[in-house]
Structure 1
Amino acid sequence: MIDRIKEAFENGKAFIPFITSGDPSLETTEQLVYAMDDAGADIIELGVPFSDPTAEGPVIQAANLRALSAGTTTDKIFSMIAKIRQKTQIPLILMTYANVVYSYDTELFLKKAASVGVDGLILADVPYEEKEEFSDVCDEYGICLISMVAPTSKERIKMIAKDAKGFVYCVSSLGVTGTRKEIKTDVSSMVKLVKEANDIPCAIGFGISMPETAHEMALQSDGAIVGSAIVKICEKYGAESVPYVAEYVKQMKEAISKL
């Protein structure tokens, strides 16, 4: 499974969109995956909704609540992914929180994730020092536990990067997720520190919404991650959002490909 993520970064800069599973419905989420794949996405992050998503800004928090209100469950997401895997082999990464995995049972969660074709897992609230209880089980089932580094990580970046799997998620801005007018963080220094410790791709996320910003971030890394801007489209258009998201992904992929 790890090979799918590796291959995604071998064809140039990677564009990685995020959507919240079940917002507005799992049927729409499934169609969004196919549309984003066709539009040029290289990896797709699927949020597993949680009632207290502490790393998220108001846009994705609201999407989590909409998804949960619509009856989205972890088991239903796994069933959706099993269907998706019949039509596409695009790398899929689940992004959620420790409590979601704990409450399901860590080993059972990862065993099920692997069985339906999940490639990676991001746990936004698990620090490096506490990741071992998840990383060992991820390794057992061939799932990459994606490490995150932030501007405040500083001397910890090399330590985190040393045993990172898949790619390193470089958080471009302090605070929660959300779109920003500009990114002032010295992301190139973060990427440099990661690369000194591990020859692994780095993708930058948090705050990217415009093609110009995605292009700028991709110049300094191996890819760009966008969530809130896409979730806003889902919020605005609901079940009719698929063509609008596809067009957005197409523009963003084109922007980072012009390097």
Structure 2
Amino acid sequence: MNRIDKKFQELKAKKKPAFIPFITAGDPDLQITKDLILEFEKRGADIIELGIPFSDPIADGPIIQASYYRALMKGVKVAHILDMVSEVRKKSEIPIVSMVSYSTVFKKGCQHFIENALKAGLDGLTIPDLPVEENSELFEIAERNNFKIICFVAPTTTDHRMTMIAERAQGFLYYISVVGITGIRDALPDDIVQNIGRLKQLTKVPVAVGFGVSTSDHAKMIGTVADGVIVGSAIMREIVKFEKEPAEKLIRSVGDFVKQLISGAKG
């Protein structure tokens, strides 16, 4: 069984949502990325979303864009990230999905990319720039290898496309809570509870919510209606805040922040 499926089954039995922190691989460096993954797991995170830096991200706001730029300027490459994931796997079985641009996958070749991802210990991919209508090849390869391609649904997704996406969903459905890009928000949309409920009626696959989830109060609200809570920009902001401090302080301080979010999400 894929680690993602197993984790959601465990959490469903406990009637708890998954907490899914996002971090950019290689910012500030890959050793700290590895240490943060292990720290987040120790603090109670359930699944890790690991951003693979790309020069032209289409869905990411300024905080994550800046983190991608810093990692790329340091020469971080896909092969280095997969090596780091392999090192994590020596100590942890926490599910890890990578957010990646389809151009990165396509350039390597879908079969080759998934084979290497599996070998390293990844469990799935989120690909924001790949429409569900165009991902048949990738889905088929993933299904043959018990690997998950996570689909996105937005508030602007039509009923027809939402039904189609829900039918093809693997691992979990990523519901984008706001129209636009990732980033820190003061408040979440008023219709988010209604939209999540509508989506959950279409699928038995867990629904996790990201984009704009920034505080423990946000996480608490999302955790009562969704199967997973995803936080990225707010965590990356904390990493930047402590990037000039010793690594031990950065990891401890960001871990403290993530623990607050987890406490909110899980009630």
TM-score (structure 2 length as normaliser): 0.93
Corresponding residue for 1:167? 172
Corresponding residue for 1:158? 163
Q: How far apart are the structure 2 equivalents of 1:174 and 1:149?
A: 11
Q: How far apart are the structure 2 equivalents of 1:179 and 1:138?
A: 32
Q: How far apart are the structure 2 equivalents of 1:157 and 1:57?
A: 24
User: Paired residues, what number?
Assistant: 257
Per-residue CA distance 1:73-125 (angstroms, 9 max, x = gap): 00001111111001000000010111111122221110000112111100011
Per-residue CA distance 1:231-253 (angstroms, 9 max, x = gap): 11112212442112211111111
Corresponding residue for 2:22? 18
CA contact (8 A) 1:32 1:242 kept: yes
* Gap regions ≥5 residues in structure 1: none
Per-residue CA distance 1:103-151 (angstroms, 9 max, x = gap): 2222111000011211110001111111212212222222100011000
Counterpart of 1:227 (choices 222, 229, 232) is 232
Corresponding residue for 1:8? 7
CA contact (8 A) 1:21 1:48 kept: yes
Greater RCO (Cα-Cα under 8 Å, separation 6 or more): 1
Counterpart of 2:53 (choices 49, 52, 62) is 49
Counterpart of 2:89 (choices 71, 85, 88) is 85
Aligned-pair CA distance for 1:163 = 1.8
Corresponding residue for 1:70? 74
CA contact (8 A) 1:36 1:249 kept: yes
Q: How far apart are the structure 1 equivalents of 2:95 and 2:190?
A: 28
CA contact (8 A) 1:157 1:193 kept: no
Q: How far apart are the structure 2 equivalents of 1:14 and 1:178?
A: 20
Counterpart of 2:207 (choices 194, 202, 206) is 202
**Is 1:253 aligned with 2:252?**
no
Aligned-pair CA distance for 1:185 = 4.6
Q: How far apart are the structure 2 equivalents of 1:136 and 1:190?
A: 29
Alignment RMSD, CA only?
Answer: 1.2
Per-residue CA distance 1:24-60 (angstroms, 9 max, x = gap): 1001100000000001100000000000011100000
The letter of the residue matching 1:5 is I
Q: How far apart are the structure 2 equivalents of 1:154 and 1:241?
A: 42
* Gap regions ≥5 residues in structure 2: none
Q: How far apart are the structure 2 equivalents of 1:66 and 1:54?
A: 17
What SS does the corresponding residue of 1:177 show, helix, strand or coil? coil
TM-score (structure 1 length as normaliser): 0.96
Corresponding residue for 1:179? 184
